Structure 1
Amino acid sequence: MPSPLVIFQALADQTRLRILALLRDMELSVGELAQVLGQSQPGVSRHVKILVQAG
């Protein structure tokens, strides 16, 4: 289980919080998230990776 510090660090970013809010309501691919967020797909993938690693 990830430490609380890792979890809070992952949640400290506004983009990652927006990703969680979007995924709470519906299932979206990284490409769809990137389009909704107005960011590049590699950038969103990096954020998703951080969230996954934080558990």
Structure 2
Amino acid sequence: MNDVFKALNDPARREILKLLRKRDMTAGDIAAKFDMTAPSISHHLDKLKRAGLVTTVRKGQFILYSINTTVVDDLIRYILTLKK
């Protein structure tokens, strides 16, 4: 869970998750939405993937990124337990 919170600590990564909530995207699609270098986008995507917040599927020469709703659901359940 610590990796999840560390990944969510960055505004760019939170914005990437918002984009992926709407649809699956390639790194190029995601990079087009930001004013940062491709290596920076790759770094953010790697952090999200390591935290389990995104999954990947190879489609030919592209990698398609998707939000991992299982981890997001687990996070929501955890946060709700804090309210009690």
Do the structures match in fold with TM over 0.5? Answer: yes
State the TM-score, normalized to the length of structure 2.
0.58
Unaligned runs of 5+ in 1: none
Instruction: State which of 28, 32, 37 in structure 2 corresponds to 1:35.
Output: 32
The structural deviation recorded for 1:6 is 1.1
Could you say which structure has the larger radius of gyration? 2
State the TM-score, normalized to the length of structure 1.
0.86
The match for 1:53 is: 50
Instruction: State which of 24, 28, 51 in structure 1 corresponds to 2:21.
Output: 24
Matched residues, percent identical?
35
Q: Looking at both structures, which has the greater relative contact order when contacts are Cα pairs under 8 Å and sequence separation is at least 6? A: 1
Q: Note the aligned Cα RMSD (angstroms).
A: 0.8
Q: Whose strand proportion is higher, 1 or 2? A: 2
- 1:28, 1:7 → 2: CA distance? 20
- 2:29, 2:38 → 1: CA distance? 9
- 2:23, 2:37 → 1: CA distance? 20
The structural deviation recorded for 1:45 is 0.6
